[in-house]
Structure 1
């Protein structure tokens, strides 16, 4: 799908920090912006391939000048993919053409809906995986992460596991054996936002997903996200979205203009 198709329900779908239960490969063909990948903030531009394994924190700009395509791969073991996030800046024209061709082949399969489509898509995704792993090998090992970067990645992994439990940021700092002040400092340094903001964005994104993409009762969503009551969840919604959970569920026409 295109990035525009991925954000059909609002830019928040990619711009807010979140975690996915599937693997994602994004091919940027135009524009530049900022990316938050496994807790680390960095820039991206045209001819960047960005890979996010299932369960890793991610957010990216989706301004109107940014164009690209995305491949969603279920994390069910049918396709072998790396377990670490990757950002590949492709300068080689052949590598760019190969990746574009793989996306075109897969789009053609989906559009024509020919027999054995599911098998064909698994085969195409496997070829995409081979291309990705070859490029990772060609680019060589990533630079050694600093102590601050390693700490933020550990915090990111804890968030991915527990952001929906209602734990306070200080509880994560305690598990990491550091002070909340130090955790906030390194998150601001590496991710461009505080540790509390990272946690809040995760909850905001999941709340919107559950309200917009499921028929789960609002009180159950509140419980699922670790809120003590539906009233507390409603206050959270009003604070961050300027709208009640019911308004968010009804759709963009009922919401203030907040992206």
Structure 2
């Protein structure tokens, strides 16, 4: 009889996501798996597909795989992040959702489900992995029901639609060295119009979003690999080591080498 497979999904306390530095959650990036953020205390701002809005306690935010996002995690922010795994085999929403859960019963139902998932993940009893998956399925149903009742589907419109297209293209091309003008041309608009729309939807320019994404990846590679600094810069489309160092230091306050040494 084969051993049960280890579940690919997991629950993580939201403060732990920033344990290695707030840049890990605040910078623009995408995930290869869907995630659900359940905030139980605190408030902040979250940007999803170029659209920024506020969140507070008892807000649940669903982010599909491949959607660019970043959110503030202050010292008073608490909650749980659910990562569904790369092949969740669940019927999950195709679009981002922002759920503002005001009913106490619905809040309690979610908390009970999350506790049950974690309890089964931590157990070593027979069938605990199957039980954890079953409770994860109940979470997916809970999200579907709450979305039908009160969810705000973050489907972009007008400027938001353009910025969503920009963030999707940016995720595909940020390593290529393409600039905002290049990406804007591929989208059929001018760089000025694109930047105007970005400022309208999230308060940041198009170049800020692009550089944020590239520098996030640079920090990740510096923290998680032993690749030489110049090789990391080249892999992200920087034409010279000096340009990479200047851009990195401008956004982080430290050179790539100093950042790596600080870890």
TM norm structure 2: 0.88
Q: Are residue 49 (structure 1) and residue 91 (structure 2) matched? A: no
Q: Are residue 168 (structure 1) and residue 179 (structure 2) matched? A: yes
Q: Are residue 226 (structure 1) and residue 237 (structure 2) matched? A: yes
Q: Is this contact kept in 1: 2:28–2:209, CA < 8 A?
A: yes
Q: Which runs of 5+ in 1 are unaligned?
A: 253-259
Change (3 A) 1:77 1:220: farther
Task: Name which of 77, 98, 118 aligns with 1:107.
Answer: 118
Equivalent residue number for residue 32 of structure 2: 21
Change (3 A) 1:234 1:26: same
How far did residue 22 of structure 1 move? 1.7
| 1:210-254 per-position Cα deviation (integer Å, ceiling 9, x unaligned) | 1112233333322321222434322322222222222222334xx
Q: Are residue 183 (structure 1) and residue 194 (structure 2) matched? A: yes
Equivalent residue number for residue 213 of structure 2: 202
Equivalent residue number for residue 8 of structure 1: 19
SS of the equivalent of 1:46 reads coil
Q: Are residue 243 (structure 1) and residue 243 (structure 2) matched? A: no
Q: Is this contact kept in 2: 1:79–1:122, CA < 8 A?
A: no
Q: Is this contact kept in 1: 2:120–2:128, CA < 8 A?
A: yes
| 1:146-178 per-position Cα deviation (integer Å, ceiling 9, x unaligned) | 311111111111112222221101111111111
Equivalent residue number for residue 158 of structure 1: 169
Moved more, 4-13 or 102-111: 102-111
Equivalent residue number for residue 217 of structure 1: 228
Change (3 A) 1:114 1:243: farther
How far did residue 180 of structure 1 move? 0.7
Q: Is this contact kept in 2: 1:210–1:221, CA < 8 A?
A: yes
Distance 2:207 2:108 in 1: 41
Q: How does 1:21-100 map to 2 (within 5 A)?
A: 21-100=32-111
Aligned residues between the structures: 252
RMSD of aligned residue pairs (Cα, Å):
2.0
| 1:181-234 per-position Cα deviation (integer Å, ceiling 9, x unaligned) | 111111001011001101111111111111112233333322321222434322
Q: Is this contact kept in 2: 1:15–1:61, CA < 8 A?
A: yes
Q: Is this contact kept in 2: 1:212–1:251, CA < 8 A?
A: no
Q: Which runs of 5+ in 2 are unaligned?
A: 1-11
Distance 1:13 1:202 in 2: 11
Moved more, 116-125 or 207-216: 116-125
Equivalent residue number for residue 3 of structure 2: none
How far did residue 16 of structure 1 move? 1.4
